Amino acid sequence: MIRTSTPQIELRHLHRVFDRTHAVNDVSFEVYAGEVFGYIGPNGAGKTTSMRILATLDEPTAGDAFVDGFSVIDDPDRVRRRLGFMPDYFGTYENVNVTEYLDFFARAYGLVGQERLRAIGEVMDFTLLGTMAHKPINGLSKGMKQRLCLGRTMIHNPSVLILDEPAAGLDPRARIELREMIDRLAAAGKAILISSHILTELAEISHRVAIIEQGRLLAVGSVAEISSGVQTRGTARVRVLRDADKLAHWLAERRDISDLKLDGDLTTFSHAGNRESEAILLREIVEAGFPVIEFGAKHKSLEDVFLHVTEGRVQ
């Protein structure tokens, strides 16, 4: 991803208060064109409220949010033309088929004539809904309905997409297909803000993530960047041709090693550090004269980071 100088999405010290609940508390971050930005946190953390403010469906108590440089407070009409919002739940209409549904939203965005027909055709091609053009919406599977909602979200070709739990309730194949579509949209230069509880998949497609809890932003950056600042212990394993017992004794004397176990020629242990420190440890083991034939480490995942950074608190 090549980062442009101007963000497509920007939250500046955003606050939203409901009675005594500070749902969003001084949240600031930026999302750039071509970037998939993961937004994660426990239920009730403030993710959906932030997204609704960006989509101009709610107003902040303080602070501001910008889409393509336009304020959601001062220029909501310009924001709506540049943004597509996919909520975590969307209603369907009786006696309406796929084409009629997309046509309705194309008209709502002011598309007319050949421009409207072209937009509907392009969305159907992208979401692979062409074979279901005349099928009633109520007869679609969950996966097909999610594709249709994504199609509705991008019918006016917005530069920014806000996707709230788009993979919720999907089977594995549908999730993979949705992920591929999100990758293609980012490659086309869209700025994408996406929330999800499926952290393993979110880590695969997100360039950066933000972790929020009780309305406060706890961390922003790539998974590797956030992990480097999290002092948790990863697990490592090393196998040697000989002297495994001597290696275990050598490792046991180190302060960054714990939970050491020896099983034949294989030694497993917990190690406090990041990838760089693991590389240094491997070099030191080799320089100490141990004939290493296997070395591996399990790095902190987005789930590990999330569990360490958050405390499971709700408002």
Taking alpha carbons only, the member of 222, 211, 219 closest to residue 275 is: 222
Q: What is the pTM of this model?
A: 0.77
The pLDDT of residue 313 is above 60 = no
Q: List, in order of start, the domains of the chain with CATH numbers.
A: 9-228 (3.40.50.300), 233-299 (3.30.70.100)
User: What pLDDT was estimated at residue 299?
Assistant: 60
Report pLDDT digits (tens) over 227-280.
Answer: 665 555 578 899 999 999 999 999 999 988 888 999 999 999 988 767 788 889
The pLDDT of residue 48 is above 70 = yes
Structure tokens at 163: 């996707």
Q: Distance between CA 226 and CA 264 in Å, rounded?
A: 36
As separate numbers, helices (DSSP H) first and strands (DSSP E) second, the chain gives: 11, 14
